[in-house]
Amino acid sequence: MSSLSGKRILLGISGGIAAYKTPELVRRLRDAGATVRVVMTHAATTFITPLTLQATSGNPVHTELLDHTAEAGMGHIELSRWPDAVLIAPATANRMARLAVGLADDLLSTLCLALAEGVPLCLAPAMNHRMWSAPATMHNRDTLLARGVHLFGPTNGPQACGEVGLGRMEEPQHLVEDLARLFVRPWLAGQSLLITAGPTREALDPVRFLSNRSSGKMGYALAAAAAAMGAQVTLVTGPTSLPTPPNVRRIDVVSAQEMLGAVLDHIRDCGIFIACAAVADYRPVVTAPHKIKKQGENTMALVLERTEDIVATVSALPQRPFVVGFAAETEQLEANALKKLHNKGLDMVVANWVGGEIGFESDDNALQIYWAGGQKILARARKSALAYTLLELIAARLNPGLHPGLTSGHIPTPAPTGATA
């Protein structure tokens, strides 16, 4: 969240039940280093009091368009000149409609019209799922997006009315992460990144395959973050249902062998290689030409062989990029990660536990990162947020003077072993 440090955030609160989450949102924004000022609509004050927001923000709360205490009574102009960004949370269907047609009948809508060019206006929609999907709301959404307004959410889930659907406001921590991405520094400008993501599938027959539970979310988050930080990004991905991140070149593969081929085809011009894919370690020696039918026996033996070790292959190249590997573990996380770091000659290894609530298939993760002479532990957070922090660490390793916040410490060399993690 370092990109919010010193930033001035104007939080607009409109009249929705999700307004009860805004004190936590203010607290988290301040924890990220931002200064927060709050503007509330009259409807918002029926859900939460201005005094609560004044106490959490440390600044007076503004509610009136014609305020004689403001700068010559022109409070909307004074406020519109102050922020580095405006976030309206919750943004109700009514608020979105007002902004779409350019109404200026209260303080919040008026200051939005008066915003200086280049100041981001961000909305966190919150409404009943039927209101969100209504043609009028969709039209207003498209109008706002076409004007460059940023929409954070909404998300799917249970709503105050008792129904379930798309229309929940994003959680405060997620909104802080979304807002922080608007101020990401271009620390990877001029860099070329090659990232692998998702699982591989090793065919057993035309119907079945060996694979794993990787969703590809971490690798896709890294690709999106790297592009936002100014890098040229190529994403080599196994089978996933995820959309291609903006400004990312995507290459689809299926097997480990195909992934290795795609990586070697594009590694020459790459300055950073991040092996985030969960590559299947073994494949059938023989792939049946037709579907294997059930036989009379109760068991069936499969003969497997090792697949290509993509990260080790890249690490062994005579002219290699900065190589980052991933280690997903169910036991001895640090020991196994360090073995992988040393045995495969990596510049950095990113380790995480799997098998619980985070990791595979989850939007969240927690990472332990190791390199020669240093380490850093990243607590549980959304993969999209972790991606930025990890890329900052990589940028700092390439340019040690770039980021002073690295945690350094001695990392022991693991005992020699014939096996790799």
Q: Note the pLDDT tens digit of each residue in 234-262.
A: 999 999 999 898 889 999 999 999 999 99
pLDDT of residue 160: 80
Residue 391 is which amino acid? L
What gap in Å lies between CA 100 and CA 142, rounded to an integer? 9
pLDDT of residue 403: 56
List, in order, residues 6 or more apart from 271 with CB less than 8 Å away: 191, 192, 193, 321, 322, 398
Superfamily (CATH H level) for 2-183: Flavin prenyltransferase-like (3.40.50.1950)
- Considering only 109-118, 250-259, 350-359, which range has the smallest mean pLDDT? 350-359
Question: Which strand ranges, in their side-by-side order, compose the sheet holding 61-62?
Answer: 61-62, 35-40, 8-13, 85-91, 121-125, 150-151
- pLDDT above 80 for 81: yes
Residues 6+ positions from 262 with CB-CB distance below 8 Å: 236, 251, 253
CATH class of 192-290+298-398: alpha beta
Domain coordinates of the chain in residue numbers? 2-183, 192-290+298-398
pLDDT value of position 385: 81
pLDDT score, position 66: 63
Q: Is the pLDDT of residue 407 over 70?
A: no
pTM: 0.69
pLDDT in tens, 170-190: 999 889 988 988 888 888 989
- Burial of 324 per CB tally in 10 Å (0-12, 13-18, 19+): buried
**Average of pLDDT values for 112-118?**
89
pLDDT number for residue 356? 64
pLDDT of residue 76: 57
What does the CA dihedral 312, 245, 240, 132 come to, rounded to 10 degrees? 150
So what's the pLDDT on residue 186?
83
276 is known as an active-site residue = no
Catalytic residue of the set 112, 122, 161, 276: 161
Residue 193 has pLDDT above 50, yes or no: yes
Question: How confident is residue 327, by pLDDT bands cut at 50, 70 and 90?
Answer: very high
- Give DSSP secondary structure letters for 253-266: --SHHHHHHHHHHH
- Would you say residue 414 has pLDDT above 50? no
Strands 282-284 and 304-306 come out as antiparallel
Instruction: Please tell me if the domain spanning 2-183 has the same topology as the one spanning 192-290+298-398.
Output: yes
421: how many CB neighbours lie within 10 A of its CB? 22
* Mean pLDDT across the chain: 88
Sorting pLDDT into bands at 50, 70 and 90, what band is 2?
low
Whether the per-residue pLDDT at 33 is higher than 60: the answer is: yes
Q: For residue range 376-387, what is the model confidence (pLDDT) as tens digits? A: 999 888 788 889
Count of residues in the chain = 421
Instruction: Read off the tokens for 311.
Output: 């990260």
